[in-house]
């Protein structure tokens, strides 16, 4: 703690006990827990870095192991510890711990950034990542972490005096010093790396960068920062937190840039490229991939506030980005008669980096800081989009009314007018709003140290500005603003941050509507910091794309999936197949009951054809596209598709690929937090469902067909303990089970039906029938969540229709 930190001046001029020829000559840095000095030996003409930590700030007795950690690493750029020992001198009042390590001439990255604000080149960020990825990979192999990765612990070594060398090199120091010197918990390396990369990118002048550097900047910002560093779900993103794969991806950026330059209009090289919206590099390509048959599109375009949820990979980001006015302008799809609303797209990774791990402030005057940040960001995006569209489609009207509208907006915002030419323009106002973003983010960093807060915009300002803009231009008057807020999900956007921002995002107005997407229903906070709880159907409408998907007519659902595949197949030059029907064919028509009777005889169905792909999809097209790509690879690649037989992919290969892919998806859950327990829950439920299919008949249909359930139906609305509720939310967050609120139990209660993700159904030899459920009491659901093995042992007995003394020993389903 800083209160125990002695005056740094008392150490200057002292010889250090471990190496008496070295004398402390300069203080290099100070923190809350320690001082860092440079010690010089005149005898050896060399320097050491000396870190001095008061004894009161030493936590635990494992400090020596922590100091050994960097010395076990072989990656270049590690600052190794030379020696460490207590330093006590009663005559000087010194009772400290001394760590001696290599001295690195230069500055910390924190100091370097302060001296080079807005002056970095993209190559600086690239070199930093090439430096850090091998270290993170080696740490993973040794089952270590750095634990305290931040700009103060990254050194920028000055090598400008070395002929033929780069002018700087990075060095990494202070492994888990927070645990050593303050008792704090270690911090996640990738979350910390994301914050560092964010700060690097903020200090790059994007507009003055070359075309190649802008491309690399976008890749680092959209993919590395927005996806690979923050995503923990390896079921969706194999590159997430994979240092070796990310290093290789970084090395390929120049190859990708060269490939992009080779064609003015980007084409797919494979129908299975770009499985996520963030990977798509051009608006033209996104337009080509987007299907206007998207299920749920009418719900999205309604004039209501919306909370849109659905499994990852279901296309929320793609549809939101495609509906934005900016995208439509860039693709020529902005003819006024076709534009019914002004769509503004915003990704919420931006909020995470500005307000990481946000908690509501104790000072009321600081409450509006995040709200100010979001308001000025959305308003700047709105002004830039309207200006782009106005200059393209109603230029005369825009030029006549821009200055007047700007004057009214300046007054509504209450900003002091800067003394610059052209101040009454959308560009000048947008520039001011961008500066206000930076001011709010900086204020949040130092919230606890600033005595004066300043003025910040409240929740009413954005709605008021939308009304001003809409009423000022005749072309805009009948067109409301739709703010598409993408990935507004906890824990990335913390619960407290959502409660703060919901004061804006849950407002109802005819001038603008807020369309929030979140990864699951439990990722959205249904209240605000004023204590107001929002009611679905009044403040907003909740749309679960999985529910939309399973309740949509089969022909419409199949038409959407086929359209997505056909677009991709037709975008690849000279690809041997142009339709999904030709690629996988159609499977023989067997009813679910026939399939179930076959499973009872251990006659497992061949899984192939479009119908099976349609059944496997829970709306998560990302996975179905990836699955078909695996089928093509197993079949022998694109060259194997040039024969004329139908289907081009052999049914046996399709069936093998589906079963392997479903099993791999289940195993990949082990990489996510608490994944092993989730796998136990899935397995217990699926084994019970398989037992029902084998031994219990359905009461819902004549002919006594096998009971075919892949969903849970509570008898009453869920009421779980805190521990069970936490696990339940994890299952929904990763879409292992998918909640459908349209359910009605056999006791007449409106309940949340829980569907097993359909991608898992073949792995457990169930059928795709939606007819039956496994009905459970709250206590049984609690048992499933907390003790899945006990749940299986209890529930399997109900599957057998005969007397208890004839209960067979049920077998585990064959995968």
pLDDT tens-digit readout, 501-549: 999 999 989 999 999 999 888 899 999 999 999 988 888 999 998 888 8
- Of residues 160 and 510, more confidence is placed in 510
Q: What is the pLDDT of residue 130?
A: 94
Give the confidence band of 666 by pLDDT, cuts at 50, 70, 90. Answer: confident
- Asked whether 773 and 712 are in contact (CB, 8 A), the reply is yes
Structure confidence at residue 451 (pLDDT): 63
CATH 1.10.510.10 fits 108-261, yes or no: yes
What is the signed CA dihedral for 795, 797, 802, 807, rounded to 10 degrees?
160
**What is the side-by-side order of every strand in the sheet holding 46-54?**
15-16, 19-30, 35-41, 46-54, 94-102, 81-89
Of residues 64 and 208, which shows the higher confidence score?
Answer: 208
pLDDT digits (tens, 9 = 90+) for 379-412: 999 999 999 999 999 999 999 999 999 999 999 9
Rounded average pLDDT over 273-288:
80
Quick check: 311 and 619 in contact, CB under 8 A? yes
Rounded mean pLDDT of the chain?
A: 86
Q: Residue 379 has what pLDDT? A: 97
Model confidence at 491: pLDDT above 90: no
- For 34-84, the pLDDT digits (tens) are 899 999 999 888 999 998 888 887 766 656 666 788 888 888 889 988 888
Instruction: Name the DSSP letter for residue 187.
Output: P
Class of domain 2-103: alpha beta
Count Cα atoms within 13 angstroms, Cβ side, for 26: 9
Q: Mean pLDDT lowest for which of 168-177, 306-315, 345-354, 719-728?
A: 168-177
Higher pLDDT, 273 or 305: 305
Rounded Cα distance, 617 and 623, in Å: 8
Q: What's the pLDDT at 806?
A: 39
**pLDDT, greater one: 563 or 699:** 563
Whether the predicted pLDDT of 254 surpasses 90: no
Residue 176 has pLDDT above 70, yes or no: no
Contacts of 124 (CB under 8 A, 6+ apart): 200, 204
Confidence (pLDDT) at 61: 60
User: Between β-strands 481-486 and 342-347, what pairing exists: parallel, antiparallel or unpaired?
Assistant: parallel
Cα–Cα nearest to 550, from 731, 208, 314, 281: 314
pTM of the model: 0.80
What are the residue ranges spanned by the domains of the chain? 2-103, 108-261, 296-550, 552-670, 672-806
Parallel/antiparallel/unpaired status of strands 154-158 and 168-172:
antiparallel
> Out of 22-31, 270-279, 319-328, 625-634, which region has the weakest mean confidence (pLDDT)?
270-279
Residues 6+ apart with CB under 8 A from 108: 29, 151, 152, 153, 154, 155, 156
pLDDT at site 338: 92
pLDDT of residue 180: 43
pLDDT of residue 450: 63
CA-closest candidate to residue 683, choices 672, 671, 670 = 670
Strand partners, 98: 52, 85
Query: Model confidence over 605-622: pLDDT tens digits?
Result: 889 999 999 999 888 888
Category of 767 on φ-ψ map: left (φ > 0), alpha (ψ -120 to 50) or beta: beta
pLDDT at 218: 86
**Does residue 486 carry a pLDDT above 70?**
yes
């Amino acid at each position: 703690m800083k209160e125990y930190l002695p005056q740094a001046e008392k150490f200057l001029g002292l010889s250090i006990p471990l190496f008496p020829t070295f004398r402390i000559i300069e203080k290099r840095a100070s923190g809350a827990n320690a001082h860092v000095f440079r010690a010089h030996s005149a005898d050896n003409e060399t320097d050491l870095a000396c870190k001095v930590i008061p004894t009161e700030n030493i936590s635990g007795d494992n400090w020596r192991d922590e100091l050994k950690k960097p010395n076990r690493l072989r990656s270049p750029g590690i600052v190794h510890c030379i020696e460490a020992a207590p330093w006590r001198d009663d005559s000087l009042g010194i009772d400290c711990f001394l760590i001696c390590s290599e001295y690195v001439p230069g500055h910390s990255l924190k100091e370097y950034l302060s001296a080079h604000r807005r002056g970095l080149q993209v190559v600086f960020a690239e070199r930093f990542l090439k430096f850090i990825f091998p270290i993170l990979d080696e740490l993973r192999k040794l089952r270590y972490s750095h634990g305290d990765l931040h700009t103060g612990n990254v050194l920028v070594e000055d090598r400008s005096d070395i002929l033929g060398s780069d002018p700087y090199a990075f060095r990494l120091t202070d492994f888990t010093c927070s645990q050593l010197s303050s008792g704090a918990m270690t911090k996640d390396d990738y979350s910390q790396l994301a914050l560092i990369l964010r700060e690097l990118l903020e200090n790059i002048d994007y507009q003055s960068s070359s075309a190649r550097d802008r491309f690399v900047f976008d890749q680092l910002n959209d993919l590395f920062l927005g996806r690979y560093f923050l995503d923990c779900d390896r079921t969706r993103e194999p590159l997430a937190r994979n240092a070796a794969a990310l290093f290789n991806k970084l090395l390929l950026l120049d190859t990708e840039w060269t490939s992009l330059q080779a064609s003015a209009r980007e084409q797919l090289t494979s129908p299975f490229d770009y499985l996520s919206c963030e990977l798509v590099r051009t608006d033209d390509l996104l337009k080509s991939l987007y299907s206007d048959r998207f299920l749920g599109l009418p719900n999205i375009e309604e004039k209501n506030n919306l909370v849109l949820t659905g499994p990852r990979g279901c296309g929320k980001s793609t549809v939101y980005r495609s509906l934005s006015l900016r995208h439509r302008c860039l693709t020529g799809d902005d003819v006024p008669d076709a534009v019914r609303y002004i769509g503004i797209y915003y990704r919420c990774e931006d909020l995470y980096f500005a307000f990481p791990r946000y908690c509501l402030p104790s000072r009321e005057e600081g409450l509006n800081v995040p709200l100010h940040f979001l308001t000025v960001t959305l308003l700047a995006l709105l002004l830039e989009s309207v200006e782009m569209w106005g200059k393209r489609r109603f230029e005369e009207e825009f030029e006549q009314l821009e200055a007047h509208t700007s004057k009214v907006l300046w007054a509504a915002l209450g900003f002091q007018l800067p003394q610059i030419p052209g101040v009454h323009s959308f560009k000048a106002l947008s520039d001011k709003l961008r500066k206000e973003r930076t001011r709010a983010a900086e204020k949040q960093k130092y919230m606890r140290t600033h005595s004066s807060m300043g003025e910040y915009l409240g929740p009413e300002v954005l709605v008021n500005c939308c009304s001003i803009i809409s009423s000022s231009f005749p072309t805009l008057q009948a067109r409301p603003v739709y703010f598409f807020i993408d990935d507004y999900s906890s824990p990335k956007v913390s619960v407290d941050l959502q409660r703060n921002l919901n004061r804006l995002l849950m407002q109802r107005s005819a001038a603008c509507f807020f369309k929030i997407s979140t990864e699951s229903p439990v990722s959205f906070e249904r209240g605000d910091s004023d204590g107001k709880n929002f009611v679905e159907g009044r403040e907003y409408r909740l749309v679960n794309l999985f529910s939309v998907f399973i309740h949509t007519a089969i022909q419409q659902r199949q038409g959407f999936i086929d359209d997505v595949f056909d677009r991709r197949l037709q975008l690849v030059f000279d690809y041997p197949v142009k339709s999904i029907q030709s690629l996988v064919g159609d499977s023989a028509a067997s009813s679910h009951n026939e399939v179930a009777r076959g499973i009872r005889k251990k006659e497992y169905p061949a899984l192939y054809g479009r119908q099976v792909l349609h059944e496997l999809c829970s709306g998560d097209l990302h996975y179905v596209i990836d699955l078909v790509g695996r089928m093509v690879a197993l079949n022998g690649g694109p060259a194997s598709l040039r024969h004329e037989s139908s289907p081009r992919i052999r049914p046996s290969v399709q069936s093998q690929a589906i079963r392997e892919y479903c099993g791999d998806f289940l195993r990949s859950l082990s990489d996510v937090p608490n994944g092993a327990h989730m796998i136990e829950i899935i397995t217990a439920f699926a084994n019970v469902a398989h037992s029902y299919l084998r031994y219990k008949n359905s009461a819902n249909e004549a002919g006594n067909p096998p009971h075919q359930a892949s969903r849970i139906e509570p008898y009453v609305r869920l009421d779980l303990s805190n521990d069970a509720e936490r696990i339940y939310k994890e299952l929904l967050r990763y879409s292992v089970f998918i909640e459908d609120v349209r359910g009605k139990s056999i006791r007449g209660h409106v309940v949340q039906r829980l569907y097993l993700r359909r991608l898992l159904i073949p792995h457990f030899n169930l059928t795709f029938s939606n007819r039956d459920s496994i009905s459970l009491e709250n206590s049984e659901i609690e048992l499933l969540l907390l003790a899945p093995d006990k749940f299986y042992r209890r529930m399997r007995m109900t599957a057998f229709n005969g007397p208890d003394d004839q209960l067979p020993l049920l077998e585990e389903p064959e995968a």
